[in-house]
Amino acid sequence: MRHPLKLLAGILAFHASVTCAQTINSPGAAGGSPSVLMITRGDTATTSACDVGIYLKNELAARLMAGESVSFNLPPGETTVTLRSLGAGYCSAPMASIKSQSLLLAPGEIKQYRVVQSEQGYFLAPVDLYQDR
């Protein structure tokens, strides 16, 4: 005959592992699969020579020089992205207007954007992931 405490410990351990597995695998628990945001900047022939700061939720997340790209693993949902010119001299002058863009990312989604410069400042333009380069 088994000892009753060993049997009770086994039952409790099984219950705890089932409960933990349900919590981890539940879509609402972790907010779903992370999303990927990819941002690419063109070469200096078509853009400014200044570095571009990428701010996520008003915090500097990356600094892009001409020809560089960066990727972020982000939780699904709405993300605010702001682009600003970084550097000394001309690059430190404020743009005509710094505007934030709101992006909506679905769980597991991969979105790619490129940095575009206009008279109004920098902004993100969507890029087809399967576009021939």
DSSP 8-state code for residue 101: E
> Would you say residue 64 has pLDDT above 90?
yes
In a domain, 41, yes or no: yes
Residue 39 β-bridge partners: 70, 113
> Would you say residue 26 has pLDDT above 70?
no
From 8-12, 69-73, 78-82, the region with the lowest mean pLDDT: 8-12
In a domain, 37, yes or no: yes
In a domain, 54, yes or no: yes
User: Range of 48's domain?
Assistant: 33-124
In a domain, 7, yes or no: no
Contact 38, 69 (CB under 8 A): yes
pLDDT tens-place string over residues 2-18: 555 555 445 444 443 33
Q: What are phi and psi of 31, to 5 degrees?
A: 80, 15
The CATH number for 53's domain is: 2.60.40.180
What six digits make up the tokens of 42?
């063109």
In a domain, 133, yes or no: no
In a domain, 130, yes or no: no
In a domain, 39, yes or no: yes
In a domain, 18, yes or no: no
